[in-house]
Chain A
Amino acid sequence: MKLEIINLCKTYGEKEVLKNINFTFEEGKIYGLLGRNGVGKTTFFNSLNGDITINEGKFYLENEYGRNRLNTQDIGYVVSTPIVPEFLTGREFLQFYLDINKQKINDLKDIDYYFDLVKLNKNDQNILLKEYSHGMKNKIQILVNIIANPKVILLDEPLTSLDIVVQEEMKNLLRKIKENHIIIISTHILELATDLCDEIVVLNNKKLELIEKNNLNTKKYKDKIIKTLKDESND
């Protein structure tokens, strides 16, 4: 399966943010999307997810059965600030979610299976989401996006504010599910990108650029990424 982006352009007023982006993401890989502040990473995600009107561009999903336009149902989008219905308990929220989407979910499991997946214990399941920490809310948000089993998962700064243990749990979860998905993670943290991601893509001069590793060791690879990011500011 491939996600093809063809000629994506997005401007805000007269400011050009994304310009003629052509790129292909492949299944089974976690992509780290890096870019300086305000360069347009969230705009890129919002464009894919259909949250904003783009000026130009098409998105296709291609698999062995053919090539189809990317549909919002194909995407799971985990936003940087988790937004959850605060006055439902974690268990109620998930139960409602499963009830509503049971026909869309292949291989529907018991609710406890899903809680085990994100290691959320019984007590925490029955308290209001309002009382959840940022990390717990993020877990719930990531969880519902995984259950829906969308082909493409976009995560906007998903692990930044999580503690180290939860970060590791989430990383393992993402590694576990990457086989059948195209996962794109935007982040500011270079270490996270190089540690978790199979490919690093830099949003540079309004375009996406794949940073090839080419047998470089981690230090040299990081230097190469930083050099690319700096080039952007000189432009």
Chain B
Amino acid sequence: MINILIKSLEIDIAYAVNSFIYILRKMPIFKDLFTDDVYNSKIIKKIVGFFGIIISISRAIFLKFIYFFVIYFITYKLFPNDMVKAFFHIYFILTILGMFINNKLLNTSKKKYFSIVLFNMNANEFFRMNIFWNLLTSTILNSIIIYIFVDKLLISPTIFYTIIFIILSLNVRLIGETLNILYFKKYKYIWYTNSSLYFPILIVLLGLCFLPYINIFVPIKIIELTTLITIPLAAASIIYLLNIKNYRQMYKRLVEMTDVMNEKNEKDYLKQAMVEVKEKDKKIDTSILEKKSGYDLFNTIFFERHKEILLRSAKKYAIIALIVYCILGYLMINYSNYNKSIAELLHIKLSIFIMIMFFINRGAIITQAMFFNCDHAMLRFNFYREPQVILELFKKRLTTVVKVNLIPAIIIGIGNIILLNISTNNYSLLTYITTFLFIICLSIFFSVHYLVIYYLLQPFDKDMQVKKASYSFVTLITYIITYMLTKLVLTSEILSILGIVFVLLYIVISLRIVYKVSPRTFKLN
């Protein structure tokens, strides 16, 4: 196994050094400095290799440092009075999140393809080496950084929590990898390529990070207990991972790998997979289509084929929202402190729903699906680029997207009304109405917004890579403004009225612009 590790690292270093020299040779200053034989020069490669190793170690430390610093900064800024509790809370939730999304063993990469298929390495040894190396490096890094943050900055001089977090991180990594493989063996695909599973988990766990807003923290005892409970599970995971005999077959079953290699860029593949038409959506109930014709039929077929990422996904969000509201309702009825803080959140910090509605809106993904599974091909035909066709389809799409996104929005809106009603405070009818309408308006706003920027900026190239800087800029600005607006502390009545007016204005103006400009802007880049 050590030989495989050494060879693997040697290949990594040679690859990185050559890539670096290749880039240098493209620069005018260095162009003449290196001859064609440079890749054969041992001295140059040793020097570059040495610096390369230093840089990659520093980079790994820096990235880990940034990760912890962001958590630290958030706790420092948002929860200055409960820094330790908030830091532990967020780090704990993110560690659990890492268990789900930070799986390294089964993700596809060029390195794995080269090692197993081209270099014909023993796959079992390669994977065991990977487990060992990943855990070793991440544990060393975690130890240094966690020590700096937890021990030095927070609760000096105890080292107890440093050790707790190092063990917890290690445990959840092992358990996460094992669960990932078990899932793959049962369902023949990696769970996180299924966006309807991935996004709800991501959103719920990220949402839980913000519980300190309403004074809810994961108790330290729970963190300690989780660490303790996960020790035997992690031990069982190690035994399981080390005893898998068919890593090669398992990895080869990831047929995607070959596609990834052919596609050149694995990210492209992930993006495609995300908007891929699911098998169960390929057959459409023909009775839905019977009375439709033309672009109405075209649009219906598109959305029927994308039920998984749009309709079913929206329904799942609605169900999750329903569960969350039931829990919150239960807490409010039975615990007076929750009753107070949740009611306060709905009345004074309703702005937080701007972020929630931003995250649950399916607009971004559906525009990707529109491009990749439809417009990418159709825009090559002249008839599809006719202004009246563009606008007709835009209207139909907008109606459908708005309707679908309204499903979870209505649940959230009604949920808010019920929670306000459960609250011991007395609210006016205006509060109920405006709070409900605010959520509905937000949902419509994000539906319109994504479709409008898709039609105005037509951002993707044929490989689904975001191409135009303007699109990236607009999405970034949307995110920043959304985030900043969550800071607003206004009563729900004022916020809702302002919000509703803004959203109505935005819709009217943006739709006018789309009607005017999109026949020119909606084309292939």
Contacts and interface: CB of A to CB of B under 8 A. Distances in A.
Interface in B11-46: 11, 14-16, 18-19, 22, 36-37, 39-40
B120 A100 contact: yes
A46 B253 CA distance: 10
Contacts of A81: 262
Interface string A168-188: 000000000000000000000
Given A84-B118, A100-B120, A52 B253 contact: yes
Contact of B252 (A49, A97, A100, A148): A49
A160 interface: no
Contact of B120 (A53, A83, A97): A97
A104 B121 CA distance: 11
B18 A72 contact: no
A85 B120 contact: no
Contacts of A1: none
A104 B119 CA distance: 12
Interface in A139-156: 144, 148
B249 interface: yes
Interface residues of B, number: 32
Contacts of A51: 252-253, 255, 258
B120 A79 contact: no
Contacts of B248: 72
Given A51-B252, A96-B7, A123-B36, A85 B114 contact: yes
Contact of A72 (B10, B252, B262): B252
Given A52-B255, A100-B119, A127-B36, A88 B14 contact: yes
Given A49-B252, A51-B255, A51-B258, A89 B119 contact: no
Given A99-B7, A128-B18, A83 B252 contact: no
Contacts of A79: 258
A79 B279 CA distance: 27
A232 interface: no
Nearest to A72: B248
A88 B18 contact: yes
B23 to A, nearest CB: 10
Interface residues of A, number: 31
Nearest to B18: A87
Contacts of B39: 89, 92, 126-128
B418 to A, nearest CB: 44
A53 B118 contact: no
A13 interface: yes
B15 A100 contact: no
A91 B40 CA distance: 9
Interface in B356-399: none
B292 interface: no
Contacts of A148: 120
B268 to A, nearest CB: 15
Interface in B162-181: none
Nearest to B15: A87
Given A50-B249, A126-B39, A83 B188 contact: no
Contacts of A130: 22
A101 interface: yes
B483 interface: no
A132 to B, nearest CB: 13
B516 interface: no
Contacts of A88: 11, 14-15, 18
A83 B110 CA distance: 10
Contacts of B261: 83
A126 B113 contact: no
Contact of B40 (A13, A46, A99, A126): A126
A101 B249 contact: no
A87 to B, nearest CB: 4
B110 A96 contact: no
Nearest to A101: B120
Interface in A87-129: 87-89, 91-92, 96-97, 99-101, 104, 123, 126-128
A51 B282 CA distance: 25
A138 to B, nearest CB: 13
Contact of B22 (A46, A87, A101): A87
Given A49-B252, A53-B188, A96 B10 contact: yes
Nearest to A42: B258
Interface string A70-90: 001000000101011101110
Most chain B beta carbons < 10 A, residue from A51, A101, A148: A51
A85 B22 contact: no
Contacts of B4: 100
Nearest to A12: B279
Given A52-B255, A100-B7, A85 B110 contact: yes
Contacts of A96: 7, 10-11, 14, 119
Nearest to A148: B120
A85 B37 CA distance: 19
A72 B249 CA distance: 8
B19 A87 contact: yes
A130 B317 CA distance: 46
13 contacts: A13-B282, A46-B255, A50-B252, A52-B255, A79-B258, A83-B118, A87-B16, A87-B19, A99-B7, A101-B120, A128-B18, A128-B22, A144-B118
Q: Which 9 A-B pairs have the closest CB atoms?
A: A126-B40, A87-B18, A87-B19, A83-B261, A89-B39, A85-B114, A87-B15, A51-B252, A100-B119
Interface of B: 4, 7, 10-11, 14-16, 18-19, 22, 36-37, 39-40, 110, 113-114, 118-121, 188, 248-249, 252-253, 255, 258, 261-262, 279, 282
Given A91-B40, A126-B37, 20 more contacts: A13-B279, A13-B282, A49-B252, A50-B249, A53-B253, A72-B252, A83-B118, A83-B262, A85-B15, A87-B18, A89-B40, A92-B14, A92-B39, A96-B14, A99-B7, A100-B4, A123-B36, A127-B36, A128-B18, A144-B120
